[in-house]
Structure 1
Amino acid sequence: MPVISYELPDRFVAGAVGQPGERAFYLQARSGRRVTSVALEKFQVTLLAERLEELLDEVRRRGGDDAPVPAATPSELLDDEPLDQPVEEEFRVGTMALAWDPEGEQVVIEAQEATEGESAEPEVGDDDPAIAVLRVRITAAQARAFAERALKVVAAGRPPCPLCGNPLDTAGHVCPRQNGYLG
C-alpha cells in the first residue's frame, strides 16, 4: 500500500458527514486538485486535536519568544467550510503518530491504515509497504487551525448528558448514573 504524502497542503482538516449520532469522521488533505480522505473515529479526532495542542504548547514553552508557534490560530487560517466533495474514503485509520520537525519547523502527522493485529506503537517514518499511510507536514499555525476546527467538529454532535457525559439521543438515554433509568 502506498504512503500518501502532503508537504504543506492547501488544506488539512477534520470533518464529519451525516447527522449527529450517525456522523462519519474524516481527515482530509488537499493540494491543488488532489484530495485524500481517510475515515476515523470521533475519539481519534478529539485525541489528535488535543495532542496537537499539547505538542504546540510544549514547543512554544521550550522555544520561548523565538518559538515558531503561534499562541492562537491566525484568523486567516480559520476554516469552517465543509469537506471537499465527494468524500471518497482511502482507508480507515488505525494508529496515528505525531512529531515536531525542528529543522523544518513543521508538525508531521501520520495516519496509518487499521490492521487486524494492531499492537505495536507506530513511529513517524516507519514505512511498512503492506499498510497505507497518510503523511502530512504542516506549519505550526496550520496545526493550531486544524486542532481548533477538529474540536468544533466534535462538539457539534449530540449534547452530552450532564450526569454521565455520554451523548444524549432525542429520546434521552439510559444513564448509568441513574441506575439505568431513562434520563
Structure 2
Amino acid sequence: MTHQVHAFEPPERFVAGTVGAPGERTFFLQARGGGRLVSVALEKVQVSLLAEKLEELLTEAHRRFGVELPEPTAALPDNDPLDTPVDEEFRVGTLGLAFDVDTATVVIEAIAAGETEIELGGAEDAAAVDEDEEPAEDLDRLRVRLTPAATRDFIERARRVVAAGRPPCPLCGQPLDPAGHLCPRHNGYHR
C-alpha cells in the first residue's frame, strides 16, 4: 500500500481547530498552502500536549542554539474557523517534533494511526505485533515546517482551542454538560 506525505514547507496557514459543539468536538490540525488543504483528526489531549511540547522545544532551541524567541502576535491572533471543506485525511496516531538548526525552523510531523491495534499480553504477543505492525514509513503523514514566530502563534491558538470547551465542575473538575452533571462529589445527586 502506498503512503502519502503531505508536506508544507512552509504552509500559508497551520492551525489547530474543532468541528462540533463543546462536548462533541472533533479536533483537527489543518495545513493550507500551494492550493492544497489537508486536515487530520486527533484527540484533544494530543493538541494540548503538542502545544506544551512545542513550547519546550522552542525553549530548548533558545538555550542550546541561541534562537530568538518572538512573542506571539498579539495584534491579530488567528481566530478564524477551519477552512472548508474539512475532510479528514487520516487520524493521527503519532506526533513527531524536531528543530532544524540549519534553517532555524520547527518541523512537526503527524503520522497516521496504524490499521491494527493489538493489546500486548506477553512475549508471544509482542513478537506477533512486530510481524503484523505496519512500518512507520508506510503510513500517511502530514509534515509542516514553521518559523519560531509561526510556532508561537500555533501554540497560542492551540491553547485557546483546548480551553474553549465545556467549563469544569468546581467540585470534581469533570466537564459540565449543558443537559446536567452528576457530580461524584454529590454522590450522584443533583443540587
AA aligned to 1:146 is F
Aligned to 2:31: 29
Aligned to 1:173: 181
In the alignment, which of 148, 156, 163 is matched to residue 148 of structure 1? 156
Cα distance in 2, alignment partners of residues 37 and 55 from structure 1 = 24
AA aligned to 1:105 is A
The unaligned stretches of length 5 or more in structure 2 are 121-134
Aligned to 2:59: 57
Cα distance in 1, alignment partners of residues 141 and 109 from structure 2 = 7
Aligned to 2:92: 93
1:160 correspondence with 2:153: no
In the alignment, which of 43, 46, 64 is matched to residue 44 of structure 1? 46
Percent of pairs identical after alignment? 58
Please provide the CA RMSD for this pair.
2.0
CA contact (8 A) 2:108 2:144 kept: yes
SS of 1:4's equivalent?
Answer: strand
SS of 1:137's equivalent?
Answer: strand
CA contact (8 A) 1:25 1:42 kept: yes
Indicate the structure (1 or 2) with the bigger Cα radius of gyration. 2
Aligned to 1:103: 102
Aligned to 1:69: 69
Instruction: Find runs of 4+ consecutive structure 1 residues off by over 6 angstroms.
Output: none
Instruction: With the length of structure 2 as denominator, give the TM-score of the two structures.
Output: 0.82
Aligned to 2:128: none
Aligned to 2:146: 138
Cα distance in 1, alignment partners of residues 147 and 75 from structure 2 = 14
SS of 2:53's equivalent?
Answer: helix
AA aligned to 1:18 is G
Aligned to 2:7: 5
Instruction: With the length of structure 1 as denominator, give the TM-score of the two structures.
Output: 0.86
CA contact (8 A) 1:68 1:105 kept: no
AA aligned to 1:89 is E
SS of 1:159's equivalent?
Answer: coil
**Residue correspondences, number:** 173
Residues 70-114 of structure 1, C-alpha deviations (whole Å, 9 max, x = no match): 2x2134672111100010110011111111111111111111101
**Post-superposition offset of 1:167:** 0.9
1:118-133 correspondence to structure 2 within 5 Å: 128-133=136-141
CA contact (8 A) 2:67 2:104 kept: no
